[in-house]
Chains A and B, each alone.
Chain A
């Protein structure tokens, strides 16, 4: 997309047999209504997306509500240094990265396996039931999802502890144990999103040329060999794209679920960058410091996604741009 400049686009148009406007100006005049239509959305994008990007300036200033953005004095990288030197810095970075990587490691292959297995089954009813039931939790809101986690893991009346006690184990206060927190976060995500994630792979698998399976059958391939040699290669491009997107959003690990799952007992394991940005910025009203942390995070994210995309483009055919 990036390499098609407007210039080449209009050149292509003038050679097309339907083009009857010669210059861009004439074309714009003819389609003035289209430009009127995009006015509101463009205004929205500028005000709510690009103005805040300019607003990151306050990360380099001593922001003062009375003086406003422009009059507040510059402080350079003071707040970045403050964050980098704070005793919590590594803890928050580690929590963010560990949960992201853990989530990627478990959450990335799970939908692929589900799709591959569903693809093996010819029984329409069973297949449809599994697909529909596993997709359903996607629609549960974050608040409800976290409530379900808390209720199900509750030390006194929770479902999971009831099961543990049934088998003669001791009850566990799951949400109060920092060392269990990351697993609870990641596996509840798997529970909620695997069915949704599988959809795109199921669609890719349904597009596989049946002749390939026929040929494999004639050659005496086992089911596993068919998965390995036909199914996996055919969903590979989709896998690459989703992997790039996942890695690219690693540092922007969701605020919503993490914040709701936090309690004073598990905080050492559950405080991540986005929750810290919220607490520093909106709860403690330290705007400049909070913006600096957020900006630090956004830049790492941008670098990550650009790097991963470049690697993917080098190693395989598929990339985002």
Chain B
């Protein structure tokens, strides 16, 4: 009975080979562009422009990176993004816990109505202009507040956190400590939060990556360049330049300059995505966990 189980039939082996081929293909398709950009960022402008760079740097140089770090806008953007990510995430996590925990308590009267109010905001949205007008009437246009307050809470994260509290902190625990005279706030700080480290870690990561990568809020609310987050600076350099027709007009004089600006793009892409992609291997487990908790039906 054991023998035939080990040896697979011919169709099964062919199928398995097919699976390996498809997955290897997927691996190459995802990895190749990333490696190509990484090597191009270390290559000379001439090598990049003549298409000689494939998987390894050609005529190794750090010229692209020097140009990136010589640009003051990029450094300002980096600093701003860091600030928005840290401050914004802190507000996000506090706000999420503040509402998610009471919603997880069965003794919290009115939690179904509040939950419905929250979920409805995921289904229907006032739209761009009404949102803009609220932010404007609060005087937040072109201030750093606009990067933090209008997105202070993500309903999806509230549902994830509430589900976690419900499933991992038994109601009986709260009731027992209540009998011992422990207040709700004290219960949260000394029991709930220590028990919820995993979900708080997940939440922090998700919010932080969201802040770091977003550009829409800054696009509509900010006007002063000194407040621009990195993503807006990147957009100005990487995307708006490419459709600028004057770049293509007199190619002869501009050849050198254009070669440099191409190289700069590769280096900039690497510099901008490095922080997130470098911590990714260490935190991916938490992200997977977050996705899974979120997928449980609340």
Contacts and interface: CB of A to CB of B under 8 A. Distances in A.
B116 interface: yes
A56 B123 contact: no
Contacts of A38: 98-99, 102-103, 114
Nearest to A166: B51
A282 B220 contact: yes
Interface string B153-188: 100001000000000000110010000000111001
Chain A residues touching B, majority SS: helix
B249 interface: no
B107 A31 contact: yes
Nearest to A214: B5
Contacts of A66: none
B129 A291 contact: yes
Q: Which range contains the number of A residues in contact with the other chain?
A: 35 or more
Contacts of A301: 123-124
Contacts of B118: 45
Given A37-B99, A38-B102, A13 B33 contact: no
Contacts of B238: 143-144, 146-147, 150-151
Interface string A225-265: 00000000000001001000000100010011000100110
Contacts of A208: none
Contacts of B127: 52, 56, 277, 290-291, 294-295, 297-298
Contacts of B149: 48
Contact of A238 (B37, B123, B188, B295): B295
Contact of B112 (A6, A143, A148, A151): A6
Contacts of B143: none
A1 B292 CA distance: 20
Question: Which of B33, B105, B117, B262 has the largest count of A CB atoms less than 10 A from its CB?
Answer: B33
A114 B133 CA distance: 44
B56 to A, nearest CB: 14
A197 B15 CA distance: 23
B186 to A, nearest CB: 9
B20 A121 contact: yes
Contact of A139 (B29, B107, B280): B280
Contacts of A199: 288, 291-292
A137 B30 contact: yes
Contact of A217 (B5, B114, B276): B5
B70 interface: no
B130 A144 contact: no
Contacts of B112: 1, 4-6, 9
Given A48-B134, A133-B31, A156 B212 contact: no
B98 A141 contact: no
A125 to B, nearest CB: 12
Contacts of A302: 123-124
A264 B240 CA distance: 12
A223 B116 CA distance: 44
B49 A157 contact: yes
B126 A55 contact: yes
B130 A53 contact: yes
Interface residues of B, number: 103
A108 to B, nearest CB: 16
A74 B24 CA distance: 61
Interface stretch (B61-69, B193-201, B264-272): B264-272
Given A45-B117, A159-B33, A143 B235 contact: yes
Interface string B127-150: 111111110001000000000011
Interface in A251-305: 252, 255-256, 260, 263-264, 274, 277-278, 281-282, 287, 290-291, 294-295, 297-298, 301-302, 305
A194 B29 CA distance: 12
A70 interface: no
B248 to A, nearest CB: 9
A134 B239 contact: no
A140 B30 CA distance: 12
B269 A298 contact: no
Question: Which of A27, A53, A277 has the largest count of B CB atoms less than 10 A from its CB?
Answer: A53
A34 interface: yes
Nearest to A9: B112
A250 to B, nearest CB: 13
B116 A2 contact: yes
A282 B290 CA distance: 35
Contacts of A34: 101-102, 105, 108, 184
A55 B114 contact: no
B254 interface: no
A120 B235 contact: no
A1 B132 CA distance: 32
B243 A118 contact: no
B242 A150 contact: yes
A10 interface: yes
14 contacts: A31-B184, A41-B153, A41-B158, A51-B130, A141-B214, A141-B234, A142-B215, A147-B239, A222-B11, A223-B8, A256-B215, A277-B127, A282-B128, A294-B127
A-B pairs, top 6 by smallest CB distance, nearest first, are A52-B126, A55-B130, A294-B127, A141-B213, A41-B99, A52-B130
